[in-house]
Amino acid sequence: MEDNFWQNLKKPVFTLAPMEDVTDTVFREIVLETSNPAYLNVLFSEFMSTDGFCHEVGRPKVSHRLLVNESERKLLKEKGVKIVAQIWGKDPEKFYKATKAICEEYDFDGIDINMGCPVKKIVKQGGCSALIGMPRLAKEIIFATKEASSVPVSVKTRIGLSKVVTEEWISHLLDTSPAVITVHGRIQKQQSEGVADWNEVAKAVKLRNERGSDTLIHGNGDVMSIEDGLERADKYGVDGIMIGRGIFHNPWFFNLKQTEKTPDERLALLWRHASLFVETWGKDKNFAILKRFFKIYANGFYGAAQIRAQLMECNELEDVKRVLTNRSY
């Protein structure tokens, strides 16, 4: 394995969570443009199926999740931000094959294994958070991935399936010495409901410390600002903070000093995102994916609700241009 970059990052590390149909190369570039690199250290790809990637027909259908635009790559280098590919599945052999191919054919700084996604159809297939209930298989997967990888391997997970099993589960993961374990303070059954339990995240830190392990523990769940993240890192002893839904409340999240953004600034970023999306994906991705982002930008100012309603009716870039050009507030 090459140098473990995770150990060289200033603590607490701040990362943006991998999210399906969210953290593609386009949105990552938008986040990079709006962020202070002192408070954004690592980005993740959308999570990609190892089953699909290892299948001749399936590979083109899933490999787009690993795309890194040249413009994003340039920003990553300028700002010193790392990028990690996240993968999921249930077959150690396919993890080995997929990891080997990613390391040989792509330029990622790390590989992350998804053992936390709570989506029911994926859990029913035995992937992601389902692995919490299959620790032996989970260990095999991590060992196979590490064996194939030339970059550090990390794991993102939760504190249980239908009940909290933090200590038992994290102990199993620590046996495999991943570079990082990111712990989301909810069980699978909760999905994104209820409050994340950071006391359970702290138990993972305690276990790591008792073992004298080099594995870093990052926390995830309900962090709504950098200041909040810094406070939680201090209180619960984690080495890093992963941001998920917080980015939907504020695309300028990764800055300690927040300045009020004007409607023009917000809508200019919306246009930048929409136009880069079409430039990158053309007809390969459904334009409707963009609609989940419109409410991020068209928000918090007089007339925003009207603009949002009009944007939700848009089916192509020209429609968006028309709405933004004809707006009145």
**For 6-26, what is each residue's pLDDT tens digit?**
999 999 999 999 999 999 999
pLDDT-derived band of residue 1, with 50, 70 and 90 as boundaries? very low
The full set of domains in the chain, from first to last, is 5-249 (3.20.20.70), 263-325 (no CATH)
Neighbours of 121 (CB within 10 A): 7
pLDDT at position 190, please?
86
Of 251, 285, 256, nearest to 271 (Cα)? Answer: 251
pLDDT at position 58, please?
87
Query: What is the 3-state composition of the chain as percent helix, strand, coil, each rounded to the nearest 5?
Result: 50, 15, 35
Tell me how many degrees the CA angle 34-39-41 measures, rounded to the nearest 5.
Answer: 95
Q: What is the pTM of this model?
A: 0.96
Q: Which residue has the tokens 């603009």?
A: 307
Of 20, 109, 30, nearest to 279 (Cα)? Answer: 30
* Residue 156, pLDDT above cutoff 90: yes
Tell me how many degrees the CA angle 271-273-278 measures, rounded to the nearest 5.
Answer: 95
Percent of the chain with pLDDT over 70: 99
Which residues does the annotation mark as catalytic?
117
Residues 6+ apart with CB under 8 A from 187: 158, 159, 160, 161, 162, 163, 164
Question: Quick one: average pLDDT of 32-45?
Answer: 97
Question: Quick one: average pLDDT of 222-234?
Answer: 97
pLDDT at position 281, please?
97
